[in-house]
Amino acid sequence: LLEPKRSLALGVFLKQVKRPVRQIVQDIQEGVGAPYGAEKLLELSRMLPGAAEVARLRSFTGSPRQLADP
């Protein structure tokens, strides 16, 4: 559902930070940025999906298991 280039960049990012996705999401929701640093958070913000990707993600009705892990 994400553009291939963005999906690849996200996969690389996740390997670099070496944290589970759920932990990253929780840290962001709680405002915990120290484990990542400003540079990594800025990099992550550049990977946010665009409006078209958000629409595709929101309209997805299949099982999350069909989606590949980043």
Domain range spanning residue 3?
Answer: 1-48
Q: Has residue 67 been placed in a domain?
A: no
| Residue whose structure tokens are 């990253």 | 24
Q: Has residue 17 been placed in a domain?
A: yes
> What pLDDT, on a 0 to 100 scale, did the predictor assign at position 43?
92
For residue 2, name the pLDDT band (cuts at 50, 70, 90): confident
When pLDDT is averaged across residues 9-15 and rounded to a whole number, the result is: 90
For residue 24, name the pLDDT band (cuts at 50, 70, 90): very high
**Count of Cβ atoms closer than 10 Å to residue 12 Cβ:** 12
**Angle at the Cα of 4 from the Cα atoms of 8 and 60, rounded to 5 degrees:** 110
When pLDDT is averaged across residues 36-43 and rounded to a whole number, the result is: 92
Q: Has residue 13 been placed in a domain?
A: yes
Q: Has residue 70 been placed in a domain?
A: no
Specify the number of domains making up the chain.
Answer: 1
